[in-house]
Chains A and B, each alone.
Chain A
Amino acid sequence: MRGLIKVAAAAAAALTAPGEAWAFGRSRIWLPEGVSTIAPAVDHLFYLILWITGVAFVLVQVTLVWFLIRYRHRKGVPAGYTHGNNAAEIVWTIVPTIILVFIALRSQTVWSQMRGTPPPHDLEVEITAEQFAWNIRYAGPDGTLNTADDVTNINQLHLPAQKTVLIHLKSKDVIHSFFVPAFRFKQDAVPGVTGRLWINAVKPANLEIVCAELCGLGHYRMRGFLIVEPSAAFDAWMAAQITPPPAPTGQPS
């Protein structure tokens, strides 16, 4: 029966592990390329925590397995008798505390950079989420949002590269979440509240806006397109929106 268990366990491991390694290797599933100014700091923090937790993980699991082998039941070898060890307990209280405080301090630095006072912005955009679309609004020629000459668009967010953009995030109906993986950022669009976030995309890219908060049956298809283009190209696009070309193309205006 023991043999049977071992065979079953080995078969199970053999079935799933290589299959997953194959699937994983084939699909390069890892952090997507970062495109915002804050992405490198977030990635750095991610790898820092990955290293620290990775070392802790290996240490604990190896110790566990080692103890299971080293201290397995053997006839005539009694277990030790101890209720604890204050010195050891103090060490393994203080060491994790120091490491965790270090992680918290490093996180706080990045957090205040991301979510503290926003830097001066070059452009303002208002994004209003609804079931199941992103309504984009730019100030028109008068430079003020929510006036008659605003430029509006649905599910297509154009942003200039290397400019700080202030986004006013709203929702009409339920909670949505504005998530751009390449920006390493998400924020919920909460009805009744206008959220403020800023983004500075470092280079041109074609990206996706993901709705990351369950918002109803069409949640899965609440996708937006995000086109980061060189400043000049963005200005040309914006100019075209303000003065529509002579022959209307049916583009949303």
Chain B
Amino acid sequence: MSQPHRTPGFLRTYVFSDDHKTIGIQFLFTSLFMMLFGGLLAMLIRWQLGWPGHPLPWMEQIAPNGMPGGIMVPEYYNMLFTMHGSVMIFFAVIPALVGVFGNYLIPLKIGAGDMAFPKLNMISYWLVPPAIAIVCAGFFLEGGAAQAGWTSYAPLSTIMGPGQVCWIVGVIVLGSSSIMGAVNYITTIINLRATGMSWFRLPLSVWALFITAVMTLLATPVLAAALILLLMDTTLHTSFFLPAGLIIDGVLQPNSGGQVLLWQHIFWFYSHPAVYIMILPAMGIVSEILPVFARKPLFGYRSMVYAIMAIAMLGFIVWAHHMFASGMNPTLGTSFMASTIVIAVPSAIKTFNWLGTLWRGSIRLTTPMLHALAFVSMFVIGGLTGIFLASTPVDLYVHDTYFVVGHLHYVLFGGSLFGIFAGITFWFPKMFGRMMHEAMGKAHAVLTLIFFNGVMFPMFMLGIHGMPRRIYDYHQYAHLADVEALNRMMSVSAFCLGLTQLLFIANFFWSLFKGRAAGANPWQATTLEWATSSPPPHGNFATPPTVYHGPYEYSVPGASKDFLPQHEPAPSVPAH
């Protein structure tokens, strides 16, 4: 477990470290940087949607081919939304939720000294920067970065040029990193739990990360396989996804025998579980934070665990609900509607249990709590709008419109990103030993919530109005003649949303150096990571902790203080 005391050099301590905490923090800086980059891409998208064809002269310096004279060309627009989606999903949200919190929290929360495979862990991080570099290298190649959407549907993705090849290779590399991480998390959680840490004493965030890791391990190899087939179709002229008789640019292609829809089936077989990979850890984080600041046990702990399991299992049999409009057999549409409808039930259970946790609590509106509450509130919108998409006939109308864009942002920004902010602001004191600035944190949380809704809510209206997504210039369509004013307001909101994030950056770096000292347990929380110093030493715990009860023993009647840490035996009341 903990290694004999030694003083490793700078490189071993901060760069090629195999300490799970350092790796978690490396993931944190990487994913926050990529989030900033993905956000800037979104700002450019919003510029084009708010002021179609208006020049941004200074952009010519940055993208002479994409924005000649500062005016965006359609290829560049396609590149922006493709890279925005890819960067946010693969390099921001997944590394933040799984990489940061998985690495940082799992050993601390289960009372272990480190991961089961620290070296594998280090490799799993060090595959991420090359993956990012490969995907983003496309920007510097002829034809630019990938522009076939983050879903890279064949045959479009097979005829795109070197940027697309970079995208495929980079995502394969990132997938390898995810698989290594998943193996490590699963092994660690199964084998390295502290004495007394039974499965049903695990904090919800560990449960969520465990099940996420299982999903990652089952789904990501499928994506890797699909990407390798796509790579072969693109570069070696195979025909996995390309049928006979394709005529591209007037030239008959030599392919034969491929199935176009096969790509979508395999891609979504990974990517729908990936949606849950991006939301389950956030749900775990929120389930962790609500009890702390309501000073109350989590409502329905076991049903929360079973709901995560149900979501994970059902998550594997709903993929073709992305394909209702693809022309596949309508009977398949029926069965996938049924499974999709069923998956709404565990999501509803979780929401009600969160409300149940608040009920009769003693609620403190700290920054992490504001983000967690924003998550609950916004996830409800994401979930409910999913019901429109699950209903096959309604989906045929709103599919591939802004309704879907709104829905996915309510899940991935309203859900995942608020979960990430909640997690960072909650565990920042543990990670860096200093408190974040509360007022700046609260202002950031509230403004983010307001401007987020300002950008994303009108998307539902646009979708209902029939505005398709991924459209460079909606002025082409007469039925979209009226949407410019609304789009402009959304863009203003988006820019304000972007500026608001400067508050977070300022708070983050200010607190890193000037924040007040946190102490071991600033939130008076019960789980094991708060039993050690902030930041924890190499090896985490001076003596391996013993666990006496469940993770959310707050306001236990008769106890002298309103929280009972997992590693402290109950004074008089029987352990729950």
Is there an interface contact between B468 and A212, defined as CB atoms closer than 8 Å? yes
Complex: chain B residue closest to A185, CB-CB: B396
Q: How far is the CA of A85 from the CA of B280 in the complex (A)?
A: 23
Inside 8 A of B485's CB, which chain A residues have their CB? 22-23, 26-27
Is residue B246 within 8 Å, beta carbon to beta carbon, of the partner chain?
A: yes
Whole-angstrom distance between the Cβ of B87 and the nearest chain A Cβ:
17
Is there an interface contact between A83 and B576, defined as CB atoms closer than 8 Å? yes
Is residue A242 within 8 Å, beta carbon to beta carbon, of the partner chain?
A: no
Is there an interface contact between A29 and B461, defined as CB atoms closer than 8 Å? yes
Q: How far is the CA of A12 from the CA of B443 in the complex (A)?
A: 11
A-facing mask of B377-404, CB < 8 A → 1, else 0? 1001100110110111110110111000
Whole-angstrom distance between the Cβ of A188 and the nearest chain B Cβ:
5
Complex: chain B residue closest to A196, CB-CB: B327
Is residue A24 within 8 Å, beta carbon to beta carbon, of the partner chain?
A: yes
Is there an interface contact between A100 and B344, defined as CB atoms closer than 8 Å? yes
Q: Contacting B393 at CB < 8 Å: which of A42, A179, A212?
A: A42
- In A26-72, which residues have CB < 8 Å from any B CB? 26-32, 38, 41-42, 45-46, 49-50, 52-53, 56-57, 60-61, 63-64, 67-68, 71-72
Is residue A77 within 8 Å, beta carbon to beta carbon, of the partner chain?
A: yes
- In B249-282, which residues have CB < 8 Å from any A CB? 249, 258-261
Interface class of chain B by DSSP: helix
Is there an interface contact between A78 and B362, defined as CB atoms closer than 8 Å? yes
The contact size tier of chain B is: 35 or more
Is there an interface contact between A107 and B388, defined as CB atoms closer than 8 Å? no
Q: How far is the CA of A60 from the CA of B439 in the complex (A)?
A: 28
Q: Contacting B300 at CB < 8 Å: which of A26, A84, A103?
A: A84
Is there an interface contact between A111 and B393, defined as CB atoms closer than 8 Å? yes
Q: Which of B147, B261, B344, B352 has the most CB of A within 10 A?
A: B352
Q: Contacting A220 at CB < 8 Å: which of B303, B462, B472, B490?
A: B472
Is residue A116 within 8 Å, beta carbon to beta carbon, of the partner chain?
A: yes
Is there an interface contact between A104 and B341, defined as CB atoms closer than 8 Å? yes
Whole-angstrom distance between the Cβ of A131 and the nearest chain B Cβ:
8
Is residue A145 within 8 Å, beta carbon to beta carbon, of the partner chain?
A: no
Is residue B555 within 8 Å, beta carbon to beta carbon, of the partner chain?
A: yes
Complex: chain A residue closest to B79, CB-CB: A217
Complex: chain A residue closest to B74, CB-CB: A217
Q: How far is the CA of A177 from the CA of B365 in the complex (A)?
A: 47
Is there an interface contact between A57 and B486, defined as CB atoms closer than 8 Å? no
Is there an interface contact between A114 and B555, defined as CB atoms closer than 8 Å? no
Stretch at the interface among A119-127, A154-162, A166-174, A233-241: A166-174
Complex: chain A residue closest to B471, CB-CB: A220
Q: Contacting B153 at CB < 8 Å: which of A28, A175, A179?
A: A175
- In B326-355, which residues have CB < 8 Å from any A CB? 326-327, 330, 333-334, 337-338, 341-342, 344-345, 348-349, 351-353, 355
- In B459-487, which residues have CB < 8 Å from any A CB? 461-462, 464-466, 468, 470-474, 476-479, 482-486
Is residue A232 within 8 Å, beta carbon to beta carbon, of the partner chain?
A: no
Inside 8 A of B476's CB, which chain A residues have their CB? 220-221, 223
Is there an interface contact between B466 and A190, defined as CB atoms closer than 8 Å? no
Is there an interface contact between A214 and B301, defined as CB atoms closer than 8 Å? no
Is there an interface contact between A100 and B387, defined as CB atoms closer than 8 Å? yes
Is there an interface contact between B330 and A53, defined as CB atoms closer than 8 Å? no
Is residue B359 within 8 Å, beta carbon to beta carbon, of the partner chain?
A: yes
Is there an interface contact between B245 and A175, defined as CB atoms closer than 8 Å? no
Is residue A251 within 8 Å, beta carbon to beta carbon, of the partner chain?
A: no
Is residue B201 within 8 Å, beta carbon to beta carbon, of the partner chain?
A: no
Q: Known: A20-B458, A71-B361, A191-B155. Contact between A57 and B384, CB under 8 A?
A: yes
Q: How far is the CA of A45 from the CA of B259 in the complex (A)?
A: 33
Is residue B488 within 8 Å, beta carbon to beta carbon, of the partner chain?
A: yes
Complex: chain A residue closest to B257, CB-CB: A192
Q: Contacting A217 at CB < 8 Å: which of B75, B351, B388, B465?
A: B75
Is residue A247 within 8 Å, beta carbon to beta carbon, of the partner chain?
A: no
Q: How far is the CA of A17 from the CA of B268 in the complex (A)?
A: 36
Is residue B91 within 8 Å, beta carbon to beta carbon, of the partner chain?
A: no
Is there an interface contact between B391 and A103, defined as CB atoms closer than 8 Å? yes
Inside 8 A of B359's CB, which chain A residues have their CB? 67, 71, 80
Is residue B296 within 8 Å, beta carbon to beta carbon, of the partner chain?
A: yes
Is residue A243 within 8 Å, beta carbon to beta carbon, of the partner chain?
A: no
Complex: chain A residue closest to B298, CB-CB: A83
Whole-angstrom distance between the Cβ of B405 and the nearest chain A Cβ:
12
Q: How far is the CA of A127 from the CA of B405 in the complex (A)?
A: 28
Whole-angstrom distance between the Cβ of A64 and the nearest chain B Cβ:
6
Whole-angstrom distance between the Cβ of B338 and the nearest chain A Cβ:
6
The contact size tier of chain A is: 35 or more
Q: Which of A13, A28, A191, A210 has the most CB of B within 10 A?
A: A191
Q: How far is the CA of A60 from the CA of B356 in the complex (A)?
A: 11
Q: How far is the CA of A92 from the CA of B299 in the complex (A)?
A: 13
Is there an interface contact between B400 and A45, defined as CB atoms closer than 8 Å? no
Is there an interface contact between A188 and B562, defined as CB atoms closer than 8 Å? no
Complex: chain A residue closest to B441, CB-CB: A5
Is residue A140 within 8 Å, beta carbon to beta carbon, of the partner chain?
A: no
Is there an interface contact between A16 and B377, defined as CB atoms closer than 8 Å? no
Is residue B247 within 8 Å, beta carbon to beta carbon, of the partner chain?
A: yes
Inside 8 A of A172's CB, which chain B residues have their CB? 246-247
Q: How far is the CA of A196 from the CA of B462 in the complex (A)?
A: 28
Q: Known: A20-B454, A73-B364, A191-B155. Contact between A82 and B297, CB under 8 A?
A: yes
Q: Known: A12-B496, A192-B243, A217-B78. Contact between A80 and B360, CB under 8 A?
A: yes
Is there an interface contact between B393 and A110, defined as CB atoms closer than 8 Å? yes
Q: Known: A42-B397, A88-B356, A212-B399. Contact between A78 and B555, CB under 8 A?
A: yes
Q: How far is the CA of A38 from the CA of B399 in the complex (A)?
A: 17
Is residue A89 within 8 Å, beta carbon to beta carbon, of the partner chain?
A: yes
Whole-angstrom distance between the Cβ of A196 and the nearest chain B Cβ:
8
Q: How far is the CA of A251 from the CA of B27 in the complex (A)?
A: 61
Inside 8 A of A211's CB, which chain B residues have their CB? 468
Is there an interface contact between B74 and A220, defined as CB atoms closer than 8 Å? yes
Inside 8 A of A63's CB, which chain B residues have their CB? 355
Q: How far is the CA of A164 from the CA of B477 in the complex (A)?
A: 26
Q: How far is the CA of A174 from the CA of B143 in the complex (A)?
A: 19
Whole-angstrom distance between the Cβ of A163 and the nearest chain B Cβ:
21
Stretch at the interface among B33-41, B216-224, B445-453: B445-453
Q: How far is the CA of A64 from the CA of B392 in the complex (A)?
A: 31
Is residue B363 within 8 Å, beta carbon to beta carbon, of the partner chain?
A: yes
Q: How far is the CA of A221 from the CA of B472 in the complex (A)?
A: 9
Inside 8 A of A81's CB, which chain B residues have their CB? 296-297, 554-557
Inside 8 A of B155's CB, which chain A residues have their CB? 173-175, 191
Q: List 5 A-B contacts (CB under 8 A).
A: A60-B355, A83-B301, A107-B337, A131-B248, A172-B246
Known A23-B458, A88-B356, A220-B471; further 14 A-B contacts with Cβ < 8 A:
A9-B450, A16-B493, A20-B489, A29-B465, A42-B396, A71-B358, A79-B562, A81-B554, A84-B302, A174-B153, A174-B159, A181-B479, A214-B149, A217-B73
A interface list, Cβ under 8 A from B: 1-2, 4-5, 8-9, 12-13, 15-17, 19-20, 22-24, 26-32, 38, 41-42, 45-46, 49-50, 52-53, 56-57, 60-61, 63-64, 67-68, 71-74, 77-85, 88-89, 92-93, 96-97, 100-101, 103-104, 107-108, 110-112, 114-116, 130-131, 169, 172-175, 177, 179, 181, 184-188, 190-193, 195, 208, 210-221, 223
